[in-house]
Amino acid sequence: MNIADQQKPGRVARRRQRNHETLIKAGQDVMAEKGIDAATMQEIADRADLGAGTVYSYFKSKDDLAIAVLERLMHDLATRIEKVTDTFGDPGQVYAYGVYKVIETATGDLRWKQLLSRSEVIADAMYRQMGPFAIRDLENATRAGRFRVEDAMLTFKMATYAIVGVALAVTTGQMPDSVIDESIVGILCMTGIGRDEAIELASRERPPLPA
Amino acid sequence: MNIADQQKPGRVARRRQRNHETLIKAGQDVMAEKGIDAATMQEIADRADLGAGTVYSYFKSKDDLAIAVLERLMHDLATRIEKVTDTFGDPGQVYAYGVYKVIETATGDLRWKQLLSRSEVIADAMYRQMGPFAIRDLENATRAGRFRVEDAMLTFKMATYAIVGVALAVTTGQMPDSVIDESIVGILCMTGIGRDEAIELASRERPPLPA
DNA sequence: TTTCATTCTTGAATGGTATTCAATTTTGAA
DNA sequence: TTCAAAATTGAATACCATTCAAGAATGAAA
């Protein structure tokens, strides 16, 4: 037992933390490469340099791991978006910017493409991870008289599914990239502002996300 | 070979037709009972009184059969809706009624509940089967100055996913039945009419569907 | 340091199911 | 009646997710 290992408050706990992390990373890599269904637990375990059975001491099932992977992805994106919108004044613009960046990422980032099938899994992860922010924004904007949202949870729930639907249509080539802008308008319309205001909101400046 | 069998223009063709039909019915039954994933090809084949291998001479894969089942379901509903809206004057009301009846069926009909997972499969089936009607309605309503839809295909694509999202949230108990009305308003808002008009449209009379 | 109960890891075995395929049956034309 | 083609069959195959008995690793106690 050498000195470096001695930092007692749980070497085990630290290793578990590391393995949990590594597994999510490995899961994301394999699933992004081959799709969630085609990814095998064996390959994910290999990629994480762990025994196949070990994965099950971290995640109850393959679905459970997939959910963790998607929630991580959503959480990271939500955090990056939040960093930018922090500085926005108009609460309506905060929501509009978020919706745009999510669609842009979903359609542009190669790592997302394969994950869009299992759309209810990704939509639910999006709802859980970004909901707290988005629902707050919808309520803020409504209080500010900018939006007219009756039920913010419902509005965002519909938005997540609509976003996934559009992203799937675009990434599968069913619809051209050019529908993205119009889809933002549609999703903004669900907030009860009229179409003209939605168009105006959608055309605001869209600064890039931080790394 | 008895006389009754002689009607030559393809007894085989007729049997194939019948088997195809029977398989879709059996598939629907088993999948509605246990869910698409838990339904086994063996049980579906048994239920249709056919060998397990035979199913593959009618459908390329289990997914293929699931798609056929869902498209049948959507086609039937679309037909029943069309029968009612035939008599409507206002093209906007035609769309509103259709959206309502689809959500009502998706959340109310026991046979649909289990099929809502695999949401991209059901949303796509909905898009393909009901799209021709819905897109026509959206375009009619836009021409009539009732809606302001830029891209009817996109608008309906988003509607299908939003509908599935709401139906899932309601059937899983995540949201109460009472969100249904507000969800119609949101989906109608995507057509570019304002919220007030959407509310008005959503509150129109909704006659029952024919059997 | 040594001991030992506890916790973690492992990968081979299990179980379940979609799909294939060689053999058999049915078909309908000759 | 005969036979090639088409359809049907269900047992065999292949592929994984998941389990689990056996074997480390750990760290507290002696």
User: Percent of chain B having pLDDT more than 90?
Assistant: 91
Q: In angstroms, what CA-CA distances link B24 with A46, A146, B75, B172?
A: 41, 49, 13, 26
Whether the pLDDT of residue B4 is over 60: the answer is no
Chain B neighbors of A156, CB-CB under 8 A: none
Structure tokens at A91: 């609460």
B162 and B74 both lie in a single domain:
yes
Chain A neighbors of B165, CB-CB under 8 A: 120, 123, 157-158, 160-162
Structure tokens at A137: 């924004």
A122 and A48 both lie in a single domain:
no
Average pLDDT rounded to a whole number, residues B101-120: 96
Average pLDDT rounded to a whole number, residues B186-202: 97
Q: What is the CATH number of the domain that holds A34?
A: 1.10.10.60
On average, the pLDDT of chain B sits at 94
Question: Closest nucleotide to A57's CA, by C1' atom?
Answer: C8
B129 and B172 both lie in a single domain:
yes
State how far residue A66 is from chain B, nearest Cα, in angstroms.
Answer: 15
Indicate whether B120 belongs to any domain. Answer: yes
Indicate whether B22 belongs to any domain. Answer: yes
Q: In angstroms, what CA-CA distances link B107 with A7, A50, B102, B205?
A: 55, 43, 9, 19
**Residues making up chain A, counted from first to last:** 211
Q: In angstroms, what CA-CA distances link A178 with A173, A174, B33?
A: 11, 12, 41
B10 pLDDT band (50/70/90 cuts)? low
Average pLDDT rounded to a whole number, residues B188-211: 96
Whether the pLDDT of residue B39 is over 70: the answer is yes
Spatial separation of the C-alpha atoms in residues A145 and B123, rounded to whole Å:
34
Indicate whether B190 belongs to any domain. Answer: yes
Domain total for chain A? 2
Indicate whether A32 belongs to any domain. Answer: yes
Indicate whether B211 belongs to any domain. Answer: no
> Is any atom of strand D within 7 angstroms of residue A63's beta carbon?
yes
Which residues of chain A are under the pLDDT cut of 50? 1-9
Whether the pLDDT of residue B3 is over 60: the answer is no
Q: For residue A177, which of A106, A96, A107, A101 has the smallest C-alpha distance?
A: A107
B105 and B148 both lie in a single domain:
yes
Interface contact flag, B164 A161, Cβ < 8 Å: yes
**Residues making up chain B, counted from first to last:** 211
> Is any atom of strand C within 7 angstroms of residue B8's beta carbon?
yes
On average, the pLDDT of chain A sits at 94
Q: What is the CATH number of the domain that holds A144?
A: 1.10.357.10
In strand C, the nucleotides that come within 7 Å of a protein beta carbon are: 7-13, 17-22, 27-29
> Is any atom of strand C within 7 angstroms of residue A50's beta carbon?
yes
Average pLDDT rounded to a whole number, residues B144-158: 98
A43 and A88 both lie in a single domain:
no
Indicate whether A139 belongs to any domain. Answer: yes
What's residue A10's pLDDT?
A: 64
A129 and A211 both lie in a single domain:
yes
Indicate whether A1 belongs to any domain. Answer: no
Domain region containing A34? 9-59
Chain B residues 100 to 139 with C-beta below 7 Å from nucleic strand C: none
B172 and B82 both lie in a single domain:
yes
Spatial separation of the C-alpha atoms in residues B119 and A157, rounded to whole Å:
14
> Is any atom of strand C within 7 angstroms of residue A19's beta carbon?
yes
pLDDT in tens, A140-154: 999 999 999 999 999
Residues 104-143 of chain A with CB under 8 A from chain B are: 116-120, 123
Distance of CA B128 to the CA centre of its chain: 9
A40 and A133 both lie in a single domain:
no
A128 and A176 both lie in a single domain:
yes
Identify the residue among A67, A114, A119, A168 best suited for mutation to test binding to B, counting B beta carbons within 10 A and taking the highest: A119
B129 and B35 both lie in a single domain:
no
Whether the pLDDT of residue B7 is over 50: the answer is no
B56 Cβ neighbours under 8 A, 6+ residues apart: none
B73 and B133 both lie in a single domain:
yes
Indicate whether B149 belongs to any domain. Answer: yes
pLDDT in tens, B41-98: 999 999 999 999 999 999 999 999 999 999 999 999 999 999 999 999 999 999 999 9
A125 and A167 both lie in a single domain:
yes
